[in-house]
Each structure stands twice: as structure tokens, then as C-alpha cells.
């Protein structure tokens, strides 16, 4: 059931930058003027710019690119119809919060999306820089039945393909994938993926999987922190209303098509086509140990095929590589 706040937003979004009288809104929603005023204030707290003038009414200033549930739902396709979508202005970490909800029985398809993370998680215990208003930070709860941990590789690599397709849907750029889960534009990382799972120790199967993904949509006003400024990039040069909602929806559409229709076998070619590692020299990182190798292929399960300096060939299921770009 839609709240007055959501209904008000829907009306204002249908006529951006146009005045809509309080009387018209009250008649459409069958609510009081006081309820409209309260809902408008709640929307302002979420970041929306809403003007209110006596004898004119309300209007939504559409220059800001604001993440919203309604804004994302406008672009979602049927395969996403069962998702339970929640957009939050700020969280510590979407992955951490969703894992807590998953442990309490939250259903598959719960999606948390934040405009800012104060403690975003990256791989290997690193932080994912997640400033306000410049990115999309999302976690999806999955409960794949009867699947062992190999499924995590499929989920991660499918998400990388979906991320590329989402970026392509809002720009004319062609992103590439750095095995296993980073997405690059112009040799800079614009998207990171972190898949975390809870495994039943008795069966060896998943209890649940939380898929986290963060997009650097715009360049932060003060730039990226010094420690990542040479590595981090962004997707779009100019702020335009709806870009972040379109990007979030584009990712969900692409990923849920693969996941809900069990098309994991069909996305591998797309993953390989977008790779930036085949034929490159790389350093293979395993814990504190490193080895030099050449990347010679990605196999049909998205494992990295490398040839070490001594001639040994291995298919890597997990790990990290440092690429000589």
C-alpha cells in the first residue's frame, strides 16, 4: 500500500518543475492539506527539493539526481516484480545491514540501496569509499536453494556483467571487467562487487547470499581521497535527474534476468567479451604470497586461466590479481 509521501512524490514527479495546487493534490489523494505538508517535509529530509508557495502549491525541482524507490520502480522490468526495494539516505554498510536482516529471516529479493555509506565494505577487509550523492550503493539478498559455494562465483561474475550492461544503459561508454569483480572505465575502477554468504555447516549449502555492489556515478565534489585518486573513476560527467535511478534499475533488470531465469550458463560469453585481462601480465595475490603470471584465458565457469613463469597452468577460482595496465 502506497503512503501519502510516495503518492505525493509520484504526482510531483509526473510534472517536474510545475506547480501543483494543494487542493488538486488533496482531492487526488483524499487527504488533508496538513498531511500533504507533512509528507512534503519528509521528502525534503530525504534530499528532494520541493518548493511550496501559497496560492501556487507544490513543485519538485528536478535538477537534483535523487535516488528513490518510485524513481527506480519506473524503470524495472517484470523479472524484478517480486523485489522488496528500500532506498535509504545513509547507512553504515548495506551489506552489513542486509546480513542482519537475513539472519532474522528476511525474504529473498530484499534490496537495500543507499545514497551514502559511512562504513562501506570492500574486498579483503578494505573500505569502499561511498560519499553522499555521488554513487549508488546496493545489496541484494538471495537464497539459492541447494547450491554450494561455487554458486558465489556465478553470482559475482553475473553481477559484473549486469553492472557493465547498466553502465552502458546510461552512457555511451564501454566498461571492462577486471577479474573477478571490478568494473573499469578508462583504466579506472568505477564499480566494485562484494559477495558474502552464510553457509550451513551441516549441508555445505547456502543459507543466504548478500550481493553488494557500489557504483561511482559522479566525481565527488572534492575529488577522491589521495590513496585512491589514481585508481578510482566515475561513470558520468554531468548530473542529470534520474541517472542514478536508471542505473540502479538497469543493474537489477540485468542481474535478475540471469538469476531468476537461471541463465548462468549464457552470460559467460558476455563476461569474457568484456574482460580486460586476457593476454596481460599479472601478479597473482594469494594472502601474503605473490606470483607473476600471464593470463591466457577465462574458462566456461569464469575461472582465470594463468600460466606462471615456470610454465605451470592453473585455473583460479578465487583470489586477487594486480594487472599491469
pLDDT of residue 157: 94
* Residue 255, H or E segment: helix 243-260
Q: Is 189 helix (H, G, I), strand (E, B) or coil?
A: strand
* Cell numbers found for residue 83: 523485489
Q: How long is the chain?
A: 325
Angle at CA 236, nearest 5°, toward 234 and 242?
A: 125
pLDDT of residue 323: 79
Residues 6+ away with beta carbon under 8 Å from 47: 64, 66, 89, 115, 133
Specify the CATH class of 69-273 in words.
Answer: alpha beta
With DSSP H G I counted as helix, E B as strand and the rest as coil, what are the percentages for the chain, rounded to 5? 30, 30, 40
Average pLDDT per block of 10 residues along the chain, 325 residues long:
81 85 93 93 83 92 79 93 94 97 95 96 85 95 84 92 97 94 95 91 85 97 94 93 94 95 83 94 89 94 93 89 74
pLDDT of residue 65: 85
> What HEC string does 104-141 produce?
CCCCCCEEEEECCECCCECHHHCECCCCCCCEEEEEEE
Characterize the bridge pairing of strands 50-53 and 57-60: antiparallel
Cβ atoms of 217 and 236 within 8 Å: the answer is yes
* Residue 306, H or E segment: strand 304-308
Report residue 152: phi and psi, to 5°: -60, -35
Cβ atoms of 39 and 4 within 8 Å: the answer is yes
pLDDT of residue 2: 66
pLDDT of residue 64: 67
> What HEC string does 130-171 produce?
CCCCCEEEEEEEECCCCCCCHHHHHHHHHHHHHHHHHHHHHC
pLDDT of residue 184: 97
pLDDT of residue 241: 80
CA–CA separation, 176 and 293 (whole Å): 20
- CATH number (2.30.110.10, 1.10.10.10, 2.40.110.10, 1.10.10.60) of 4-60 reads 1.10.10.10
Residues 6+ away with beta carbon under 8 Å from 66: 46, 47, 48, 115, 241, 244
Q: Where in the chain is the domain with CATH 3.30.930.10?
A: 69-273
Question: 270-273: long-range contacts (C-beta < 8 A, 24 or more apart)?
Answer: 270/161, 270/164, 271/157, 271/158, 271/160, 271/161, 271/177, 271/298, 271/302, 272/298
pTM of the shown model: 0.86
Question: If you ran DSSP here, which 8-state letter would residue 193 be given?
Answer: E
180: preceding bond cis by omega (within 30 degrees): yes
Q: Where in the chain is the domain with CATH 2.30.30.100?
A: 281-323
Nearest residue to 165 via CA among 131, 139, 134, 191: 191
Domain covering 281-323 in this structure, CATH number: 2.30.30.100
- Side-chain-side CA neighbours of residue 161 (13 Å): 24
Q: Where in the chain is the domain with CATH 1.10.10.10?
A: 4-60
Amino acid at each position: 500500500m502506497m503512503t501519502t509521501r510516495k503518492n505525493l512524490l509520484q504526482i510531483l514527479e509526473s510534472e517536474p518543475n510545475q506547480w501543483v495546487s494543494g487542493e488538486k493534490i488533496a482531492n487526488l489523494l483524499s487527504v488533508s492539506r496538513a498531511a500533504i505538508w507533512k509528507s512534503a517535509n519528509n521528502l525534503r529530509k530525504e534530499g528532494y527539493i520541493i518548493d511550496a508557495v501559497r496560492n501556487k502549491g507544490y513543485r519538485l525541482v528536478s535538477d537534483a539526481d535523487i535516488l528513490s524507490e518510485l524513481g527506480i520502480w519506473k524503470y524495472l522490468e517484470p523479472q524484478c516484480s517480486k523485489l522488496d526495494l528500500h532506498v535509504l539516505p545513509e547507512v553504515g554498510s548495506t551489506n552489513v545491514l542486509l546480513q542482519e536482516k537475513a539472519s532474522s529471516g528476511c525474504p529473498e529479493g530484499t534490496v537495500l540501496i543507499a545514497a551514502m555509506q559511512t562504513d562501506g565494505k570492500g574486498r579483503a577487509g578494505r573500505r569502499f569509499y561511498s560519499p553522499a550523492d555521488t554513487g549508488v550503493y546496493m545489496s541484494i539478498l538471495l537464497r539459492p536453494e541447494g547450491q554450494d559455494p561455487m554458486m558465489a562465483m556465478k553470482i559475482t561474475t553475473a553481477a559484473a556483467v549486469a553492472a557493465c550492461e547498466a553502465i552502458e544503459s546510461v552512457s555511451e561508454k564501454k566498461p571492462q571487467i577486471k577479474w573477478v569483480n571490478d568494473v573499469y572505465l578508462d583504466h579506472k575502477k568505477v564499480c566494485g562487487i562484494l559477495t558474502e554468504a552464510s553457509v550451513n555447516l551441516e549441508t555445505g549449502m547456502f543459507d543466504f547470499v548478500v550481493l553488494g555492489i557500489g557504483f561511482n556515478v559522479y566525481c565527488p565534489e572534492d575529488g577522491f581521497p589521495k590513496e585512491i585518486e589514481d585508481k578510482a573513476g566515475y561513470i558520468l560527467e554531468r548530473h542529470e535527474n534520474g541517472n542514478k535511478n536508471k542505473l540502479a534499475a538497469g543493474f537489477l533488470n540485468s542481474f535478475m534476468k540471469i538469476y531468476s531465469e537461471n541463465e548462468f550458463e549464457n552470460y559467460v560469453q558476455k563476461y569474457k567479451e568484456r574482460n580486460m585481462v586476457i593476454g596481460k601480465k599479472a601478479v597473482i595475490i594469494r594472502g601474503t604470497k605473490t606470483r607473476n603470471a600471464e593470463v591466457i584465458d577465462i574458462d566456461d565457469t569464469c575461472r582465470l586461466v594463468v600460466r606462471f613463469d615456470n610454465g605451470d597452468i592453473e585455473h583460479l577460482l578465487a583470489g586477487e590479481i594486480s594487472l599491469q595496465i
